[in-house]
Structure 1
Amino acid sequence: MSGKPVRAKSLSVEDRQSMILDAVTPLLIEHGQGVTTRQIAQCAGIAEGTIFRAFDSKDELLRAAMDRQLDPEPLRLELAALDRHRPLEERVRTMVTLLRRRFAQVFALMTAVGQVGRPHTHDVAHEFTLLLADVLAPDLLRLTVTPERAAQVIRMIALAASVPHITAGPVFDDDELTALILYGILGSPTPPNATL
């Protein structure tokens, strides 16, 4: 038998683009628009020329990377897939985790790179509030506010907790934020006759 090496199957343009986009995001956060195609190629484990077989220019690559990271569809799918039969506390914690991950990534990219790519033209915030409300709806009788209002509160807290200059001081973890959302800072309303 001959020991001739088997050549790896070549990637489609879409697969090559996806592989490069996977590599470029952390580099964009670290280096911003100053990232070089050499750095991208090294991180992706490819020759620098391979980048230009997948993208016409570095600018096109940066726009594609930002479009991919700012695309709300993956988060929409994750939230829509939440099991409405799980306990409310688990669903709220998962919402907090998913939203914080999304907000942190977007803020890190926007801080490092600035505005690149096309802004979304529809009201993503309202759409996500409705989606979160739908996930909360099975527990309507447990909520002290409408599911839409609860969803708005969850989004606001997750957003604020994802912006470093807003959360000056100790970092909040997802469990602490979930408890604050569900139980507030008092745990329950103070009875009117209670002495403080």
Structure 2
Amino acid sequence: MTPIPRLSGDDRRAQIIEAVTPAMLEHGQTITTRQLAEAAGVAEGTLFKAFGDKESLLIAVGEHHLAAEDFTAELAALQFDSLDEFVTVTGAALVSRMRFIFRLVVALGPAGQRIVADRHADFEASKHRLAAQFAPYRHQLRVSPLVAADLLRTLAWAASASWGEQEPTSSADDIIQVLLHGIVSTDATRASDGTSATASAPESQKV
């Protein structure tokens, strides 16, 4: 029988972090070491041996996920047939990623905010990587690729941030439509959704 290879210390810590993340998102800073150990399927002593204490483990969770390989690198390997397809796929991926990060930072509290502040340079670098992906469509843009990247990330954050039980007002589809077509309704969009120019006009303009 082939022996099961032992995990390295780093791999073991990464495995524990992934295992405890859902529980940490649910309970936030109030989570106990017992709950963390149960989520990881290990003894509390194992957690202490791997991370030292609960606070160190929670910080490690935040740093692990915020330092994860930028998902734009995965998108960069994809081939898109049009600007619309690129914005649609990238926008949806950004919203999903940012919703997770928002929940993570809220759950971690002050520690999460410190981690985000420490990674400001990484966040800015990711904007430039996204701008590079907009570059092939430069001739179709009314703004520079860097501005397009900044606008997409800003709108994605608007569709991601929520406080308490309140859901974000905007959806991923909302921000994609706004970025591609603006917020002003046209005759074409009114025809597609079954509304008329008269119905969409302000009361003061109706005859």
Q: Is the 8 A contact 1:88 1:139 kept in 2?
A: yes
- The corresponding residue for 2:110 is 115
Greater percentage in helix: 2
Kindly indicate whether residue 139 of structure 2 is the aligned counterpart of residue 144 of structure 1.
no
Measure the CA separation in 1 of the matches of 2:138 and 2:122. 24
CA contact (8 A) 1:96 1:154 kept: yes
Q: Which amino acid aligns with 1:159?
A: W
CA distance in 1, matches of 2:167, 2:32: 35
What's the C-alpha RMSD, in Å, of the aligned pairs? Answer: 3.0
Residue identity matched to 2:97: R
- How far does residue 188 in structure 1 lie from its aligned partner after superposition? 6.0
Report the Cα distance in structure 2 between the residues aligned to 1:173 and 1:23, rounded to whole angstroms: 29
Contact 1:82 1:135 in 2 (8 A): no
Deviations 1:22-62 (A, max 9, x none): 02222222111221222122222223322223222222211
The aligned amino acid for 1:156 is T
Structure 2: give runs of 5+ residues left out of the alignment.
188-197, 202-207
Where does residue 35 of structure 1 map in the other structure? 31
The structure, 1 or 2, with the larger RCO (C-alpha pairs under 8 Å, 6+ apart) is 1
Q: 1:169: how far off?
A: 7.1
- Percent identical residues: 36
- Residue 121 of structure 1: how far off its partner (Å): 5.3
Number of matched pairs = 186
Tell me the TM-score normalized by structure 1: 0.78
CA distance in 1, matches of 2:119, 2:97: 19
Letter in 2 for 1:105: F
Task: Say if 2:83 is the partner of 1:88.
Answer: yes
Runs of 4+ in 1 over 6 A off after TM superposition: none
Match of 1:19 in 2: 15
- TM-score of the aligned structures, taking structure 2 as reference length: 0.74
Specify every segment of 5 or more residues in structure 1 that has no aligned partner in the other structure, as ranges: 190-194
CA contact (8 A) 2:159 2:168 kept: no
Q: Deviations over 1:74-99 (max 9, x none)?
A: 335335x2435442122112221232
Bigger shift: 60-69 or 6-15?
6-15
- The equivalent residue for 1:128 is 126
d(CA) in 1 for partners of 2:39 and 2:137?
Answer: 46
Measured in 1, the distance between the counterparts of 2:57 and 2:140 equals: 48
